[in-house]
Amino acid sequence: MTPPPAEPDPAALARACDRAALAGFDDRETFVERMLIDRGLDLDETAGGAAGTALARIARAAWDARDAHLAQREDPAVPDDHDRLAVALDLLAEDGMIGLLDLECCHTCAADALERAEFDGVGVVYTTRQERATLPDGRLALTLMLTAIPLDALPADLVARARHDPDPPTRDAARDEVERLATDLLRRALVARLDQVGLSVTAEHDDVVEIAVPDWRRRPPLDDRRPPWPAVLDSPEALDRVRAAVFPGLRRPDRIVSEVLRAVAVPREQARGVRHEVLVAWEQRRRHVAVTAQRTGPDDPDDPDEPDDSARLRAAFTALSADGVVGRMDFTCCEGCGRVEIRDERGPSREEIGYTSFHAGDTDALAAGSAAGPLTLSVGAFPERSASATAVLALVAARLEQAGLTVVADDTGTPEEPRLRVLVPDWRHPLAGDLPAGV
């Protein structure tokens, strides 16, 4: 007679759930379902009997405990190792690679999925759910998969042998060497990106790079904790507008959603998709700001360490305010409206002598980073005061240079309505407020 299965040890289940919850890739109920599936129990926890009910209760407790712990210690301005890895994988796009975390249940299924997909780049860097098991120990293995051979980066004679050598064994050996060298190129590019964001590589061999992740604090994205979005946003123009509006960090998310919906003909059923894309872009931008700031210095203009260009611009505008010059960022829709409406930005005494500002179109151009070129500032004098526009222009340029910014002459304005340009290649303006629950 077969003895009944032994009752699982609650303490052992709790330890297993605690370790599994650390990965932070699943929302609460998905995590419970995975724990049930892993132990061969029915997804309907009540149908699994006492064992299913007990495991579900322990799994929820583990997820809630980790979520509460992270909520107490989490500071979005201080990146964790997951933030650093996410930024490194984003940067791989510049190397022609794609990064995917938590892809499929195992490497066999991941390889099948990747072979069916179509990629324009040279390779994919990924982890599967199997790698979750090493996160509690502060380790994570990244796997490389070639999707195209970067022939231009390999020795021409080797490529020629791999393509045309009449001897099959020689040709096959050359092809193996081509693949080995191509994988090595990808691995070195990955290691360089990991080093760029401050992650330590502990081992590398063939198509695997292992990194140390002692500070892994990933929490499910906000949309993981909400009902699924009813529709996916299928509008490249709307997606571009979302990303352009989020990157500069000057607009609140609810304003971004409203502006995109007004500017782009998004189908009614996809309106919530705009909110979802704002959330995704917001989280990506937060990571980049946090990781970059930690690697290069704070963005506080009062800090003696090196600030970023947005902090320098804020410092210049603060100094200009004391000089009687009104400074505004992301002000009105266009330059013409800005020059008119900035008159209402003066104080009650109307003692200000002039103004400088950049408008929403200039803000959107910041999304392209340094490739967008200089930021154009409108400058002018208030006619009620004695200062000329030329004098205000000279004062604005001086304050910008004192703040550490590079000013470039601009001859497209007029003597009464001059302009100047300022270089801002390192723009890490803090995001404008927290992401509200309604977005």
Name the helix (H) or strand (E) containing 176. Answer: helix 168-196
pLDDT of residue 350: 85
Query: What does the H/E/C string look like for the chain?
Result: CCCCCCCCCHHHHHHHHHHHHCCCCCCHHHHHHHHHHHCCCCCCCCCCHHHHHHHHHHHHHHHHHHHHHHHHHCCCCCCCHHHHHHHHHHHHHHHCEEEECCCCCCHHHHHHHHHHCCCCCCEEEECCHHHHHHHHHCEEEEEEEECCCCHHHCCHHHHHHHHHCCCHHHHHHHHHHHHHHHHHHHHHHHHHHHHHCCCEEEEEECCEEEEECCCCCCCCCHHHHCCCCCCCCCCHHHHHHHHHHHCCCCCCHHHHHHHHHHHCCCCHHHHHHHHHHHHHHHHHHHHHHHHHHHHHCCCCCCCCCCCCHHHHHHHHHHHHHHCCEEEECCCCCCHHHHHHHHHHHCCCCCCCCEEEECCHHHHHHHHHHHHHCCEEEEEEECCCCCCCHHHHHHHHHHHHHHCCCEEEEECCCCCCCCEEEEECCCCCCCCCCCCCCCC
pLDDT of residue 341: 92
pLDDT of residue 192: 94
pLDDT of residue 371: 42
pLDDT of residue 294: 64
pLDDT of residue 296: 54
Instruction: Count the alpha carbons within 13 Å of 296 in the hemisphere toward its beta carbon.
Output: 16
Q: Are strands 97-100 and 123-126 parallel, antiparallel or unpaired?
A: parallel
pLDDT of residue 225: 37
pLDDT of residue 56: 87
pTM of the prediction? 0.63
CA torsion sign, 72 to 278 to 294 to 215?
A: positive
Rounded to the nearest 10 degrees, how much is the dihedral formed by the CA atoms of 285, 287, 289, 294? -170
* pLDDT by residue, tens only, the chain of 439 residues: 444 444 557 788 888 888 888 888 887 888 888 888 777 776 665 655 777 788 888 989 988 888 888 777 656 567 889 888 988 988 888 888 888 888 888 888 888 888 877 777 888 999 988 898 899 999 999 999 988 888 888 888 888 888 888 888 898 898 888 888 989 999 999 999 999 989 999 999 889 999 999 999 887 654 443 333 334 566 778 888 888 888 888 888 878 888 888 788 777 666 677 887 888 888 888 887 778 766 655 444 434 356 889 999 999 999 999 999 999 999 988 899 999 999 999 988 888 999 999 998 888 888 754 444 689 999 999 988 888 999 999 999 999 999 999 999 888 889 999 999 999 988 888 887 655 443 4
pLDDT of residue 303: 44
Domain edges within the chain: 10-73, 81-212, 222-296, 309-423
**Measured distance CA(135)–CA(142) in Å, rounded:** 12
pLDDT of residue 404: 94
Q: What is the DSSP letter of 248?
A: T
Q: What is the DSSP letter of 405?
A: P
Give buried/exposed letters for 148-166 (b at 16+ CB in 10 A, else e). Answer: ebbeeebeeeebebbeeee
Query: What does the H/E/C string look like for 87-105?
Result: HHHHHHHHHCEEEECCCCC
